[in-house]
Structure 1
Amino acid sequence: MAINENFLSFLWQFRLFTAQPLYCVDGERLRVIHPGWLNTHAGPDFMQATLEIGGVRWVGNVEIHVNASDWFLHNHELDKSYDSVVLHVVYAHDRAIYRGNQTLIPAFEIKEIFDVRYLQQYQQLINERTVFPCAAQVTHVDPLTVSWMLSRVLADRLERKSDELLQQVKHLQGDWEAALYHCLARSFGFKTNTVPFELLAASLRHPILVKHHRDPLQVDALIFGQAGFLAGAFEEIYPQQLQEEYNYLRKKWRLVPIDVSLWKFLRMRPASFPTVRLAQFAALMWRTPVLFAELMHCRELHELHHFFEQLSTASYWDHHYTFKKVSAGAHTHMGISSVNSILINAFCIVLYSYGKHTANQEYKDRAISFLEEIAAERNHLVDSYAENGIKIENAFDSQAILELNKYYCSQKKCLNCGIGVKLLKR
């Protein structure tokens, strides 16, 4: 069975060795006081390990390889950060390794001192052809471990998304209102039309919308015009008015619309058509042009829902899902699942990010609290985890599942997952 570095790291991290006491390849006794902290970035695999080798205490880094000679395969001899390695943990010791100053790095070979059943269980887990690797076994893991892992990956998700948003805030020269505007636009795309919504927000700066927020027709004209939907001839009054307003505003602000062909309608329910989403987005923009300022004062979930409860699109959309085609009894009111999706992916992320930016834990805690109150997202992926025994009660849980699947399950990183480790150590 194939051995890889992830599996060796698992054995080292949890000290799953069958031999005691331990010895380095040169015969010196090894005592692992602390194996170090797993490093997920560049550099040695474990940082700040505390070891006793031959009676001498060492504090430094540990590097893991299948074969000792892999040190050169990975070009570590060219990287001075590896001079801090105090122990080389290998499956097979086929070569002595020296630091840049020509001092020998002690080596510890584990080829013959681990229970092969760990490897068999690991191979069985990653080779499972189920929705996620441990689908058939996850019910054997105690709920506390599952809850801990979901909390861990949810924290990772919030940190990752906030880092991305903070980069955008920097690009926008610290304009948080504009940052929320971009985040909302992306959220209104609901995956299928995320890209054109992002391009729309990039082509239509937020301050321009704010200048026209008192005139709903002008806001609609700017958004539909920049989206590329106001080209050509129209027979109905409303699109004619939009076109007239947009032609004026386009020249005034020197605007260039995006290509209308970017928008996707195929295999979508009419109520989710991009034209409907654009109308809803426009209604939100002219109703509350300074959303960020209001968001910062929201302490209850119903206050966030309030932004969407009074959204009023133009009456034209009561009878249309697209331009030029009448649809009797068109329904353009935003459903609760759509609203919740925007709260999760825009409002909560911006709130958490602002808390991180200002070092204000209250904002971060409030964002997490909102996620705990918002209903869990329902989709094929989330449902598959629920059907296999993972309890998903709210958006906190469903967001954690999305992160867990993307960065652990789909990459078969069971050895880095608390749930997977628990199963392997049973």
Structure 2
Amino acid sequence: MKEDFLHYLWKFKKFDSLNLKTFNGEEITIINVGQYLELAGPDFFNAQISIGNQKWAGNVEIHLKSSDWYVHHHERDQAYENVILHVVWEHDTEIFRKNNSEIPVLELKKYVDDETIVNYQSLIAPKSWIFCEKQLAAIPQFTLKNWQERLFFERLERKSNPIFELLNQTNQDWEAVLFCLLAKNLGLNTNGDIFFKIAQTIPFSIIRKESFEVENLEALLLGSAGLLDLEKEDAYFKDLKFRYFYLLHKYQLEKFIVEPVQFFKHRPDNFPTIRLSQLANLYHIQQNLFSKIITATSIESIYETFRVSASNYWQKHYQFDKESPKKEKKFSKAFIDLILINTIIPLQFAYAKSQGKEVSEDLIRLLDKVAPEKNAIMDKFSFFGIKSKSAFESQSLLQLKNEYCNKSRCLECAIGMELLKKS
């Protein structure tokens, strides 16, 4: 038994609320259970309850045992002086206010039916992956769809927090924020943080000024990644290196290498040389990239915006001085989908929020046209009966697994609540 289960029982009155009595035998009538705070202080604020012939307004505190009052040192806290009812599973000791009046106690276990308890115990039974995995397929589609929408926007809220932090660091420059986010996205898991730091070390005003010469952008990015430090015979390498040191001098930038970028474990198309060249070409070709992204409402326009390849040199190279068979190194559709999921949608959400605009339906409509992510979490959900048809659904399931299932927040989850309703 956990205390959050008692919170659930009280909040939704999942007990015989018509025949309640205090431990001392006085009749209880619940007029209003109060507001569930989930903050420091009593659990339910401003409840209204009749005990005997007296109507009370105040707070309700909930514990597994009455003695937990003293375990949590509530007797020392002024915030608990206005508690009008102590709701417990098991009453094992009397609790008194500072004026020596006894706080009425409701021992809840007398009023909860066995089926509710069985459903709860089934929900929190030892799990192999998540608690309710064997019951997922039976969840009504209406419940699941509504919950997925809520989960999706919870995930966007979480993703928007670092965007607003970055916005403050860049003096409210949304274009600079986009540049940093795209750099991180292009670096994937291995080089993402390194690319992000590289983007932060280059003032975006310089990216704007130099965007008309793609070689200058490549020189800045590759040089900042430490990829121009060695000596090579390649003419293109020597040209980029010359440009890099010229630009350092021109803008009085310090040569600062964050940490070495990684080639290991990457497929060649994800090598840092290729991804940084693609980033340079993106800003060379799309002079108004932020405007195009923030106003994009169709998946086709986004694919068109990112129809970009690495520079000509990289069509026959993955690394300097090592020629390879010719291949156009352009963004794949699957990679653009990742950019859409991890950068474009969160940025559109954050920008609309900053402008006080509502774009919820537009964002869902966009992601409904994008294929779901393929990963172990999606495979597991599919195995247990919930299959994602779009990135909107897969994003919501990632939020569900990471923020609810992994943290055992079953009683805050619409699926968990639906399973408990069976009583």
TM, length-normalised to structure 2: 0.90
Matched, 1:253 2:252: yes
Deviations 1:142-174 (A, max 9, x none): 111111221121121122222332232223222
Partner of 1:285: 283
Cα offset, 1:339, TM superposition: 0.5
Cα offset, 1:300, TM superposition: 2.1
Q: Residues 330 and 48 (structure 1 numbering): CA distance in 2 closer, same or farther, change over 3 Å?
A: farther
Determine the C-alpha separation between the residues in 1 that align with 2:412 and 2:241: 55
Cα offset, 1:65, TM superposition: 1.6
Cα offset, 1:27, TM superposition: 2.9
Select the residue among 371, 375, 384 that pairs with 1:375.
371
Cα offset, 1:98, TM superposition: 4.9
Q: Residues 142 and 239 (structure 1 numbering): CA distance in 2 closer, same or farther, change over 3 Å?
A: same
Determine the C-alpha separation between the residues in 1 that align with 2:333 and 2:282: 15
Q: Which amino acid aligns with 2:348?
A: L
Deviations 1:281-312 (A, max 9, x none): 22222222442222233232211222111x13
Partner of 1:143: 141
Cα offset, 1:101, TM superposition: 7.1
Partner of 2:349: 352
Q: Is the CA contact (8 Å cut-off) linking 2:18 and 2:29 kept in structure 1?
A: no
Partner of 1:425: 421
Partner of 2:411: 415
Partner of 2:311: 314
Partner of 2:52: 54
Gaps of 5+ in 2: none
Q: Residues 111 and 385 (structure 1 numbering): CA distance in 2 closer, same or farther, change over 3 Å?
A: same
Cα offset, 1:107, TM superposition: 2.8
Gaps of 5+ in 1: none
Deviations 1:331-365 (A, max 9, x none): 5222212101111111111111111111111x444
Select the residue among 388, 394, 401 that pairs with 1:392.
388
Residue aligned with 1:333, SS: coil
Q: Is the CA contact (8 Å cut-off) linking 2:41 and 2:79 kept in structure 1?
A: yes
Q: Which amino acid aligns with 1:257?
A: F
The 5 Å alignment of 1:13-412 reads 13-18=11-16, 20-77=18-75, 79-83=77-81, 85-98=83-96, 104-251=102-249, 252-261=251-260, 263-309=261-307, 311-330=308-327, 332-361=329-358, 363-412=359-408
Residue aligned with 2:60, SS: strand
Deviations 1:102-154 (A, max 9, x none): 76543322133323444444344334433332221111111111112211211
Cα offset, 1:54, TM superposition: 3.3
Cα offset, 1:414, TM superposition: 1.6
Cα offset, 1:221, TM superposition: 0.7
Deviates more, 1:384-393 or 1:55-64: 55-64
Larger radius of gyration: 2
Q: Residues 314 and 163 (structure 1 numbering): CA distance in 2 closer, same or farther, change over 3 Å?
A: same
Q: Which amino acid aligns with 1:218?
A: N
Cα offset, 1:39, TM superposition: 3.5
Q: Which amino acid aligns with 1:266?
A: F
TM, length-normalised to structure 1: 0.89
Determine the C-alpha separation between the residues in 2 that align with 1:356 and 1:245: 40
Q: Is the CA contact (8 Å cut-off) linking 1:166 and 1:357 kept in structure 2?
A: no
Cα offset, 1:260, TM superposition: 4.1
Determine the C-alpha separation between the residues in 2 that align with 1:324 and 1:293: 38
Cα offset, 1:385, TM superposition: 1.0
Q: Which amino acid aligns with 2:353?
A: K
Cα offset, 1:11, TM superposition: 2.0
Determine the C-alpha separation between the residues in 1 that align with 2:303 and 2:255: 33
Residue aligned with 2:109, SS: coil
Determine the C-alpha separation between the residues in 2 that align with 1:185 and 1:86: 56
Q: Which amino acid aligns with 1:398?
A: S
Q: Residues 103 and 352 (structure 1 numbering): CA distance in 2 closer, same or farther, change over 3 Å?
A: farther
Q: Which amino acid aligns with 2:329?
A: T
Deviates more, 1:346-355 or 1:27-36: 27-36
Identical residues among aligned pairs (%): 34
Residue aligned with 2:291, SS: helix
Q: Residues 105 and 219 (structure 1 numbering): CA distance in 2 closer, same or farther, change over 3 Å?
A: farther
Q: Which amino acid aligns with 2:324?
A: S
Q: Which amino acid aligns with 2:394?
A: S
Q: Is the CA contact (8 Å cut-off) linking 1:337 and 1:377 kept in structure 2?
A: no
Determine the C-alpha separation between the residues in 2 that align with 1:243 and 1:42: 58
Cα offset, 1:255, TM superposition: 3.0
Deviates more, 1:299-308 or 1:79-88: 79-88
Q: Residues 238 and 424 (structure 1 numbering): CA distance in 2 closer, same or farther, change over 3 Å?
A: same
Determine the C-alpha separation between the residues in 2 that align with 1:421 and 1:129: 18
Determine the C-alpha separation between the residues in 1 that align with 2:391 and 2:95: 49
